[in-house]
Amino acid sequence: MNEKFSKIGFILAVAGSAVGLGNAWKFPTLVGQNGGSAFIVLYLLLTFLVSFVIFLGEIAIGKISEKDAVGAFESLAPKNKNLWKFAGFCIIGAILIFSFYSVIMGWILKYVVTSIYFLPNSMKESEEIFNSLLTKDLGTSIFYFTIAVLMSFYVVSKGVKSGIERLNIWMMPALFIFLIIMLIYSMNMNGFLDSAKFMLMPDFTKLNKDSILSALGLAFFTLSLGVGTIITYAASLPNKTNLLTSSLSIVFINILIGIMMGLIVFTFIFEYGGNPAQEGPGLVFISLITLFSKLGFIGNLFAAMFFISLLFAALTSAVSMIEPSALFLINNYKFSRKKALKFIFVFVYIMGILCILSYQSVTSNSLTFFGKSFFDCLDYLTSNLMMPITGIIVAIFVGFVMKKQSLYALFGLYMGRKLFLIWYFLLRFIAPVAVVIIMVNQLFFS
C-alpha cells in the first residue's frame, strides 16, 4: 500500500510540482511577447482542451492502479504488458529534467545568499557576474548545486507524507504570501500600471501561428505532464477526493502564480527601463537583480525575498521529479527508500556536473553536441521529445486501452455523464492530434 497524501496535501503537492521556473520566466515572457491577455486566453483554452485532458488521464492511470508509473502501465494493460510497461520509463525524463533544474536551483541559492549584502548596479556588471558564474567559477557552481541536490533528496528521503507533503504544505502558502507582499509593494510603483497593461490588455493582432504552439507547449510543460510525475502522485491520492475540483484548483493556482510573478517582474522592468523582451534566466539573473539595486537597502531584502520565492517554487517541483523513480525502484526491486535514492543521486549528480561543465569555458567544447551544450540538450530532449511523446501515449492508453467503465467509475461521480463524455472525446481525438502538431512544429520548424 502506498502512503497517501491528505486531500489538501495532494492539491498543494501537485500545484507545487506545476508551479516552478516555468511560471517564473517562461510564462511572463511568452505573455509579454504574444499580446498580453490575448495569449492568456489562448493558453487557458489550450490548457482545458489539451493539457488538462491529459492531466486527468495521468490521474486515472495513477489512481486506478495505485502503482509507480512502470507498474501502472503494466498492470492496467490487458495485453502486451511488456510493451506498455516501457511507457512508464518516461520517469527517466523527470530525472533528466532534475539534472539541469537543480543546476538552476544552485544559481538561485547563490543569489539568495549574495543579494543580502550585494547587488550589482549596472546591467554590464550584472551580466559579467552571471556569466562568470556560468563560465568560470566552477567551484561556486558545484558548491551551490550540491546543496540544492542534497536539499531535494533530503525531502524525498522522508517519504510522501512526512517529506513531500510537509514541504509543500508550508512552502506553497509561504511562496504565495511572499508574492502578495511583493505585489503590494509593486502596486505603489509607477511601473505597475504599465506592467498590468502589458500583461493583461489583450492585443489580438499580436497573436500568430507561433503563439498557438507556444501556448500549447507551455500548457503542457507547466502542468508537469509526460514524465510520470502526475501518475506517481495520483497513486498516493486519498480516496473520495473530488477529482474535478482538486484538479481545477491546481490549474487555477498555477495560472494565478504565473500572473503574479509576471506582474512583479514587469513592474520593475518598466519602472527602471529594463528590457521586457529579454528571455529566460537573463530576465531575473541579469535584469531584475540590477533593478532591485535602485531601491537601496530595501532592494536587498526584496531581492532576497524574490530569490527565496524562486527557490521555493523550484524545490517543490524538484522533489516531484525524483519521487517517480524512487517509487519505481522501491516497488520493483524492493529497495529501501534510502537505497533507491542513493542510486538516483549518483546518476543525477553526474548528469548535473556535466551540465555545469558544459557551460564552463574550459570544458564547454567537449560537451557541445549538435551545436547545443549538454545542458541545453537535456532541456531539448525532455521538453521537445520525451514529454510530448509520453503525452500522446497517455492519451492513447487511457482513451483506447483502458476500460471506459473504470474511468467512468472514477470520474463520473464528480463530473456527471455529459462532462465525462466530453473529456473522453477530447482525450481520444483532440489531445493526441494537438500534441503531434506541437511536436512536429518544434522539431522541424523552429
**Residues engaged in binding ligand TRP (CB under 6 A):** 17-18, 20-23, 94, 97, 221-222, 224, 227, 229, 317, 320-321
Residue 270, CA distances (Å) to 13, 88, 196, 263 in order: 34, 45, 10, 10
Please report how close the Cβ of residue 22 comes to ligand TRP at its closest, in angstroms.
Answer: 3
Measured from the CB atom, the residue of 126 and 246 that comes closer to ligand TRP is 246
Alpha carbon distance 89, 396 (integer Å): 16
Please report how close the Cβ of residue 220 comes to ligand TRP at its closest, in angstroms.
Answer: 9
Alpha carbon distance 345, 253 (integer Å): 30
Enumerate residues 6+ apart whose C-beta is below 8 A from 394: 54, 57, 58, 61, 87, 225, 226
Measured from the CB atom, the residue of 320 and 331 that comes closer to ligand TRP is 320
Measured from the CB atom, the residue of 21 and 378 that comes closer to ligand TRP is 21
Please report how close the Cβ of residue 162 comes to ligand TRP at its closest, in angstroms.
Answer: 20
Please report how close the Cβ of residue 325 comes to ligand TRP at its closest, in angstroms.
Answer: 11
Q: Kindly report the CA angle at 304 between 351 and 97, in degrees rounded to 5? A: 20
Measured from the CB atom, the residue of 313 and 407 that comes closer to ligand TRP is 313
Measured from the CB atom, the residue of 64 and 97 that comes closer to ligand TRP is 97
Nearest to residue 245, comparing CAs of 6, 4, 7? 7
C-alpha gyration radius of the chain: 21
Measured from the CB atom, the residue of 195 and 320 that comes closer to ligand TRP is 320
Alpha carbon distance 124, 286 (integer Å): 9
Which amino acid, one-letter code, is at 22? G
Please report how close the Cβ of residue 122 comes to ligand TRP at its closest, in angstroms.
Answer: 30
Pair 11, 247: CB distance under 8 Å: no
Please report how close the Cβ of residue 382 comes to ligand TRP at its closest, in angstroms.
Answer: 7
